[in-house]
Amino acid sequence: MPLTASILARLRNQHETVRELIGDLSEQQLKQRVDPAKWSVFENIAHLACYQPVFLHRIHRMQNENNPLFPRYTAESDPEFRVYLEQSLGRLLATIQADRQILVRLLEEMDEPTLRRAGQHARYGQFALSKWAEFFLLHEAHHLYTIFMLVCDLRKNLPE
């Protein structure tokens, strides 16, 4: 199954929404937790930056292995996530952009037999690489929605 026009368009552009959502809020503001038990905007952005290389690694495994099994990813269990949390906002946004270019190029150049190669998600089962791309985008969209809501809450509390 080839990548749909919708998947390709979102792969190329969806990540740019982060900049639009955060606008002129400072890094310090973005690091504020609206709910102490939930991630801040900054932590969500760090997670998006950290997860792209994880997804690229999964793609490479699907290209080279037969139906590899992938555990459910949790940022808190990933030592790299802490490294991303230490980076500046500018660095995180640049990393997201650079890694996305690699991801888009890799997926755009794949032929249909490669896009049909499968991987096994520990919770959701087996799907072809083309469906993994959709899974990746929906995961990212979930965090974009979360960022949107957190930014709205942050802006409500800004002095006028």
User: Within the chain, where are the H helices?
Assistant: 5-13, 17-22, 27-30, 41-64, 79-85, 89-108, 112-115, 129-156
Domain span at residue 126 reads 41-156
Q: What is the pLDDT of residues 93-110, one digit of tens each?
A: 999 999 999 999 999 999
Residue 8 lies in a domain: no
Per-residue model confidence (pLDDT) at position 158: 81
What is the C-alpha to C-alpha distance for residues 33 and 43, in angstroms, rounded to an integer? 9
Which residues are 119's β-sheet partners?
A: 127
Which one is predicted more confidently, 159 or 59? 59
What are the C-alpha distances in Å from 37 to residues 29, 32, 59, 87?
A: 17, 12, 32, 22
Q: What is the pLDDT of residues 3-48, one digit of tens each?
A: 999 999 999 999 999 999 999 999 999 999 999 999 999 999 999 9
> For tokens 């509390």, what's the residue?
157
Mean pLDDT calculated for residue range 148-158: 94
Residue 30 lies in a domain: no
What are the C-alpha distances in Å from 16 to residues 9, 93, 101, 116, 158?
A: 12, 9, 12, 28, 24
Residue 123 lies in a domain: yes
Residue 31 lies in a domain: no
Q: Looking at the predicted structure, is the pLDDT value of residue 1 above 80?
A: no
Query: Which CATH number covers residue 102?
Result: 1.20.120.450
Residue 9 lies in a domain: no
Residue 108 lies in a domain: yes
Q: What is the pLDDT of residues 105-124, one digit of tens each?
A: 999 999 999 999 999 999 99
Tokens describing residue 104: 């888009």
What are the C-alpha distances in Å from 154 to residues 26, 38, 39, 92?
A: 11, 14, 13, 20
Per-residue model confidence (pLDDT) at position 96: 98
Q: What is the pLDDT of residues 67-100, one digit of tens each?
A: 999 999 999 999 999 999 999 999 999 999 999 9
Residue 10 lies in a domain: no
Number of structural domains the chain divides into: 1
What is the C-alpha to C-alpha distance for residues 143 and 140, in angstroms, rounded to an integer? 5
pTM of the full structure:
0.96
Q: Looking at the predicted structure, is the pLDDT value of residue 160 above 80?
A: no
Nearest to 110 by CA among 128, 136, 137, 135: 128
What is the C-alpha to C-alpha distance for residues 88 and 28, in angstroms, rounded to an integer? 10
Q: Looking at the predicted structure, is the pLDDT value of residue 145 above 80?
A: yes
Residue 61 lies in a domain: yes
